[in-house]
Structure 1
């Protein structure tokens, strides 16, 4: 195992990509006082995941960095942090019942309306549009309208948007990683007040569901979910905490990926024209509205999103705590250490796409959605949504909201160009104050209506 150097910067793992190029598939470093082993390669990740949910404190499990504070802000009763195999299985089935194909299909009209609203507003604006802001607004609207099913007044919508932004931004603060409880965290800090606001909104919605019965929201499906014999359902805290998890997954990661996709499409007008041609053909056959069949027909658009996630996965990877010494690719990882499943490096090393000069990961030379259209060129090592039994439960929702927005965008926008055209000789610049992938400047564009 190679030994690296510490990686500490804005975004706790922002230096990891460079270290991975230098030290290979498996190396050790430190962050926040923890020895962390970066592991890349789908086979290596799967070999480690075989040790997950082992009994008698063996194997590996998830853990919460800064549990004293993040536990209060994020929620300890969410699927992400359950390490008991049986409890995790029950929790995943119950939460997963809100993410089935049927459940997502029922949400499509609401998602479609949110996308159209954003795009129509964009086309009314004559000044340049910052795409990052549009995608944040879009995914936040889905959060309150569909995920939570809130009945917000127009003047309350900005308050909800601000609360989610403050909450998600606060989750990235290194201060929350302190090994002691921060006094007055929920009362005196911006992130604490935002979390209380969101918790109150969810509780109010639960009270309404108890009074009036189920509705079409994702929160309703969580609250009324039961196992096969009806004897087990989520506790109130589990409903609240897992609703928060879906908000985080459905806003931050989707907005990040959509922002990256908008940049790549602007840099590749030939790809953009092919997306438009596909959508115009589908529209001529199916009309304006979407359902799962229409989304399944959007094969090239699906490839665009997958290629975006290959080049720029929203997160660097996932952490696991090593409960007992494990071996991966001939290297021992001692008890008490952490492993990080390195998604970006896994994509970099994929033998089906790898180029010696690194051009396969270049945002201009390497962005080739057509590689996904054939089994002979399709990437073999791709894990932006994780792997194993903890694979992102909101994956289907995220893909649906991304495909619907880009499909409607392609149908309504004939042309869009970057305001600050990026010189072909310069690398794309990325924001340094976030742990999710965000292009610097937020992708400012001008639009021409179709």
Structure 2
């Protein structure tokens, strides 16, 4: 069987630089070669596939043809004990353990903390009036992640926040381990991050057991054999949770703020729905579930601008898809963003249209045609945490605030490490109060 069409690019680096710099990299090659093509990125021959059938094929053959894989820079910076790198029964075992921090009872306990931090930031942004929102949203989501996952207040203002920023910038980079590269700086700050996390974990282990945050649950958690997580694994897993609960959420919330500002008709519909809920009561899980139009908006935000563009897999057994051979030892990248642009599933895919997710329309979508959180055995563990934070943030924003985009800025999206506006999403921001039910 023939290999997929395409070019492996330059020796050693292949097409890595184009992949990192050009947000239209995959789209251009799909236009040239069709739904499957080969290239070479991060030192590895890689097959790009998109569409519901491709996602179904890749995500339903975990541990048979494929195992999870990441670029070398990501592997080195996440750490060998991270859930993101574990496979097989070890992955399933650890996933079950970590899920304890994201089950419904735990989520309900997070709402109060999310509300407090959101309220504090809304006041701050009102006082600032005009600013670049994306860096502020990074601080917001990091504060939420630190409080609810690790029990630390104002995490963005601590050493942890400072090191985390540099570490995140190196996650998808060329793994050249010298002090002046993004990767070299990130590797140094990983060591500093782990030292900070070790101090936090040791303090918690010596304190009274329990706590409502994820770290408290993980320290007390036991696997099926009654074993607890080692200190080294706790550090890698907490680092992953902070990344997952911060980086991708910042992208998703920023996209909501951008798209709603560009679509005032959608904003008006969200506000109309919010008027059904009491103004004086704290938000609850039950209330958030009843916000069906806001749910449609969030689904459409994640369709149009998925924070993560795709997922890497290593081929452990040669297989074929779409009439082409995929050799053992190569990588496969299943593409979330290109799948969400499939006009056969989503008519006018470039248009922001939350109504495409109304009940009668969304039931026709093909399986694996909507995969902002991945799918299969490795679907995002913190999916419901992310959805909760997005929805709570959005509800508070439209109830209490107004914002408009400032002119003369570049709103094109940079894809790495997660999608975000090039000029930082500069806005004018002020507080208002809707006429909600008493």
Match of 2:407?
420
SS across alignment from 1:321: strand
Does 2:378 align with 1:374? Answer: no
The answer to whether residue 349 in structure 2 is matched with residue 360 in structure 1 is yes
Matches within 5 A, 1:194-209: 194-209=189-204
Partner Cα distance (2:300, 2:328) in 1: 36
Give the corresponding residue for 1:60. 66
Q: Could you tell me which residue of structure 1 aligns to residue 36 of structure 2?
A: 26
CA pair 324-158 structure 1, distance change in 2 beyond 3 A = same
Cα deviation per residue 1:231-268 (whole Å; 9 max; x = unaligned)?
A: 13322222211111111111111101111111111110
Instruction: Write out per-residue CA displacement over residues 140-179 of structure 1, whole angstroms, 9 at most, x where no aligned residue.
Output: 1012211111256x9x8253322211110122221x2x5x
Q: C-alpha separation between the residues in 2 aligned to 1:418 and 1:12?
A: 25
Contact 1:12/1:31 (<8 A) preserved: no
For residue 81 of structure 1, give the secondary structure of its aligned residue in structure 2: coil
Deviations 1:396-441 (A, max 9, x none): 111111111111111111x32111178xxxx952236x33211121
Cα separation, partners in 2 of 1:382 and 1:209, compared to 1, 3 Å: same
What's the secondary structure of 2:71's corresponding residue? coil
TM norm structure 2:
0.88
State the match for 1:91 in structure 2. 94
Query: TM-score under structure 1 normalisation?
Result: 0.86
- How far apart, in 1, do the equivalents of 2:146 and 2:374 lie? 26
Task: Confirm whether residue 330 of structure 1 aligns to residue 317 of structure 2.
Answer: no
Please give the residue correspondences for 1:5-404 in structure 2 after superposition, counting only pairs within 5 Å.
5=7, 6=9, 7=15, 8-9=17-18, 11=20, 14=23, 15-54=25-64, 59-66=65-72, 70-83=74-87, 85-126=88-129, 128-150=130-152, 157-174=157-174, 176=175, 178=176, 182=177, 189-212=184-207, 213-227=209-223, 231-284=226-279, 287-349=280-342, 351-354=344-347, 359-361=348-350, 366-377=351-362, 379-380=365-366, 381-404=369-392
Deviation at 1:392, TM superposition (A): 0.9
How many residues of Structure 1 are paired with residues of Structure 2 in the alignment?
417
8 A Cα contact 2:198 2:235, kept in partner:
yes
Gaps of 5+ in 2: 10-14, 433-438
Structure 1 CA distance for aligned equivalents of residues 235 and 145 of structure 2: 13
Q: Bigger CA drift: 246-255 or 345-354?
A: 345-354
Distance 2:194 2:357 in 1: 41
